[in-house]
Amino acid sequence: MLAAICTAYGAPDVVQLREVETPVPKDKDVLIRIHATTVSSGDCRLRGANFPIGFGVMARLVFGASRPRQPILGTECSGVIEAVGPGVTRYHPGDAVIAFAGAGFGCHTQYRTMREDGTLTAKPAGLGFEDAAAIAFGGTTALHFLRGPGRLKQGERLLVNGASGCVGVAALQLAKHFGAHATAVCSGAKSELVRSLGADAVIDYRSADFATSGERWDVIFDTVGNAPFARTRNVLNENGRLLLVASGLPDLLRAPFQSMMSGRKVAGGTAPERAEDLALLAKLAESGAVRPVVGSTYPFARIADAHTHVETGHKTGSVVVTLAET
C-alpha cells in the first residue's frame, strides 16, 4: 500500500509517498480502506518539530529524537472496513466508518487498522467521506473544552479566537447548539463563513482588538495561542473561563495560580480521544447541527502541498486529502 512517510523533521518536502506493507488486523482490529484524511495543525507541528514553548525536549522523547517515531502522520480519517479480526463483533466488512487515531497518528495511508473499541464510529449515510474525515480533530477538541473546563451554559457569552480554523468552526457550532451567544474573531474575509455557522458577532482581528473592545465574555476559547490571561483578564466576566487550546508550558504552569488568585478559571491541556464523543459529533453532523467545513482538498499525491497550505496558518476549516474514489 501507499503511505505518506515523514522521513525526518523538517519542511513539507520531508513527506514522501512510499510503498509499505499493508497491515493485517489482529483479533479485535478492523482494517479500514481510507477514502479521506486530513492534514491538521497537529500534523504540521510534529512534522516540523514546531512544538509548543517548553515542550520541545519532552515531545522529542515521546515522538522521536531525530524524526517521528511514527513516520505515518494523520490523526483522522474516513473509509470503509476492508477486513476484521476474528474477535470483532461491532463492525463488518463494507461498513463505512469515521476513525480518530489522535496522538497515535497513522492515517496518511491507504489502509489503517483500528481497535474495534477504539475511537471509531459509523459514518452517517448522508455524510460524504471528505466531510466525515473533517469532524474528529476539531470537533473532539471543541467538545471537550466547551463541556469540560469551559462549562458553557445556555445564554452565556462565548468568544472564539481563531474562529475559522477546524477547531474554531466546531466550537462556534457547538456553542450555538448549547444555546450560547457566540462572537467570532477571524479575518474580515471569513466573516460570511462564520456567520453562516452561527456567529452572532464577528471581530476582524486585523482592524480591532477584542481585548480592548470594552465587551466582556463568560468564556474565551483561544485556538491561536495569542490570548493569555494577561491579555484577556479584563474582558472576562466574573467567574469567567479562559480556555487555552493552543498554549505553551509556561501558560499551563501559570494557569492554576491565575485561577486561584483571580476567581476566574484558566485551563489548557489536551482533549481525550473518546468513541462516544466521535459518535455524538457524527450524529450532530447527520442532523445538520454541526456542519463540517472543508476549506481545501488535495489528492494523496500532493499531500506535501497540503502541509504547505496548513503551515501558512490561514487555512479555513479542515484541509482534506483524498485517497480513493467515493
What are the chain's domains? 2-134+292-322 (3.90.180.10), 138-268 (3.40.50.720)
Supply the pLDDT for residue 11: 96
Q: How far, in whole angstroms, is CA 122 from its chain's centroid?
A: 19
Single pTM value for the model:
0.94
Supply the pLDDT for residue 122: 98
The sign of the dihedral angle between the CA atoms of 71, 75, 79, 84 is positive
Supply the pLDDT for residue 314: 85
**pLDDT tens, position by position, 247-263:** 888 888 888 999 888 98
Identity at 79, one-letter amino acid code? G
Q: How far, in whole angstroms, is CA 93 from its chain's centroid?
A: 28
Mean pLDDT by runs of 10 across the 326 residues of the chain is 96 97 97 98 93 82 88 98 97 98 96 97 96 97 96 98 97 97 96 97 96 95 95 95 92 89 92 95 96 97 97 93 76
CB 183 within 8 A of CB 160: yes
Pairing of strands 265-268, 181-186: unpaired
**pLDDT tens, position by position, 180-218:** 999 999 999 999 999 999 999 999 999 999 999 989 999
Rounded to 10 degrees, what is the CA torsion of 296, 301, 305, 311?
A: 80
Supply the pLDDT for residue 326: 38
Tracing cell 518539530 back to the chain, one arrives at 49
CB 140 within 8 A of CB 174: no
Supply the pLDDT for residue 325: 54
What string of H, E and C letters represents the secondary structure of 43-97? HHHHHHCCCCCCCHHHHHHHHCCCCCCCCECCCEEEEEEEEECCCCCCCCCCCEE
